[in-house]
């Protein structure tokens, strides 16, 4: 590029510092709309609640009635999950009387996807008119009470992934350039989840989730650092999706399944098999909690 052209480009960037909506990332709104139309062409249901089912938790969608299963590969522009424990299909169906969309598996930064690709399904939910998103994950427990098998309602997060899915030009049809992240994890939904968990005798906790990119697990020193900065849980997902969901005004519930004590807390190494085995062991409890919370969320957003 000639110096003159480069100067002109810098000048335009300066006049348009936050990225005006007119120059929004080409086509994201349209591609998400196309994917939403595709999903709607496969089912008569119109879900108001979407669920992202993390490692080992995808089986919840097997319990939907009137289910339509759509492999991610068939949905236009949808990213494909490569992680073990992630089936990679969208299931539209009903939990009781409530129509829901459930993602059996998600994609992660550690698979090589960009933050924007990771949140594409959330963009699709926004275009489908979904009002609430329930994000689930497997996490390492940093807080000592968060022992293996506990279910923890996420109260807030710390983004240590070094990226944000909203960098670049903003498309105001999705949301504001600078959107608020106070109360990103809906207070009412959190209360409902704790309440229902306690009714079920699960003994619910709340905690702050720190997201790193992975794929390596943390070092014990990193876990000590995370505890110092206020994290109770650690994982490799969820945060980009929460940011995108809030960008479009969808209300969020986040629930972590503590699949292991974080690195260095116990005198033993971490492995992914343990993560999947723990998720498998507690999934009954987890599913009961989701079944109890979904009708209450549906009533709250009606």
Instruction: With beta carbons less than 8 A apart as the criterion, state whether 70 and 92 touch.
Output: yes
86 catalytic residue (yes or no): yes
Q: Which is nearer to ligand HPA, 70 or 276 (CB)?
A: 276
Question: Element (H or E) spanning 100, and its range?
Answer: strand 98-104
**Minimum CB distance to ligand HPA, residue 262 (Å):** 5
Give how many residues touch ligand HPA by CB under 6 A: 13
In the shown chain, the binding pattern of residues 167 to 206 toward ligand HPA, with x for contact by CB under 6 A and - for none, equals: ----------------------------------------
User: Would residue 108 show up in a list of annotated catalytic residues for this protein?
Assistant: yes
* By CB under 6 A, residue 132 contacts ligand HPA: no
Question: At what angle are helices 272-301 and 187-199 packed, to 10 degrees?
Answer: 110
Tell me the residue nearest to ligand HPA as measured from the CB.
Answer: 140
The DSSP code sequence of 149-207 is T-EEEEEEEEE-SS--TT-SS--TTT--SS---TT-B-HHHHHHHHHHHHHTT---EEE
225 catalytically annotated: no
Q: Which residues within the stretch 223-262 sit at the binding site for ligand HPA (CB under 6 A)? A: 234-236, 259-260, 262
Query: Cα–Cα distance between 40 and 212 in angstroms, integer?
Result: 34
Helix (H) or strand (E) holding 133: strand 132-141
Binding to ligand HPA by residue 282, rule CB under 6 A? no
Element (H, E) at 255: strand 251-261
| 210 contributes a contact to ligand HPA by CB under 6 A | no
**Catalytic one of 31, 137, 237, 248:** 237
Residue choice 270, 292, 293, 297 for contact with ligand HPA (CB under 6 A): 270
Between 140 and 207, CB nearer to ligand HPA? 140
Rounded to 10 degrees, what is the CA torsion of 275, 279, 36, 299? -140
125 binds ligand HPA per the rule CB under 6 A: no
18 is catalytic: no
Closest CA to 52 of 62, 61, 40, 43: 61
Can 157 be counted among the known catalytic residues?
no
Helix (H) / strand (E) containing 117: helix 115-118
The reply to whether 272 belongs to the active site is yes
Interface ranges with ligand HPA (CB under 6 A): 138-140, 217-218, 234-236, 259-260, 262, 270, 275
């Amino acid at each position: 590029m000639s110096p003159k052209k480069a100067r002109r480009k810098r000048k335009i960037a300066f006049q348009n510092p936050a990225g005006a909506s007119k120059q929004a990332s080409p086509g994201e709104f349209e591609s998400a709309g196309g994917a939403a139309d595709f999903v709607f062409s496969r089912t008569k249901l119109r879900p108001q609640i979407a669920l992202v089912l993390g490692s080992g938790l995808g089986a919840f969608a097997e319990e939907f009635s009137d289910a339509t299963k759509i492999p991610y590969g068939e949905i236009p522009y949808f990213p494909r999950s490569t992680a073990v424990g992630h089936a990679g299909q969208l299931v539209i169906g009903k939990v009781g009387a409530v129509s829901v969309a459930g993602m059996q598996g998600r994609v992660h930064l550690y698979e090589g996807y960009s933050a924007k690709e990771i949140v594409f399904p959330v963009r699709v939910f926004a275009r489908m008119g979904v009002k609430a998103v329930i994000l689930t994950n497997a996490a390492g427990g940093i807080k000592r009470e968060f022992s293996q098998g506990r279910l923890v309602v996420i109260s807030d997060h710390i983004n240590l992934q070094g990226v944000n899915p909203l960098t670049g030009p903003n498309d105001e049809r999705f949301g504001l350039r600078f959107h608020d992240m106070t109360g990103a994890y809906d207070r009412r939904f959190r209360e409902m989840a704790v309440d229902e968990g306690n009714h079920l005798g699960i003994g619910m906790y709340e905690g702050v989730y720190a997201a790193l990119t992975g794929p390596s697990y943390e070092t014990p020193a990193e876990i000590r650092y995370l505890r110092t900065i206020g994290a109770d849980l650690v994982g490799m997902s969820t945060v980009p999706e929460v940011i995108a969901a809030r960008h479009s005004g969808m209300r969020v519930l986040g629930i972590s399944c503590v699949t292991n004590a974080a690195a260095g807390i116990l005198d033993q190494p971490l492995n992914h098999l343990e993560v999947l085995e723990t998720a498998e062991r507690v999934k009954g409890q987890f599913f009961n909690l989701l079944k109890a919370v979904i009708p209450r969320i549906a009533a709250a957003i009606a």
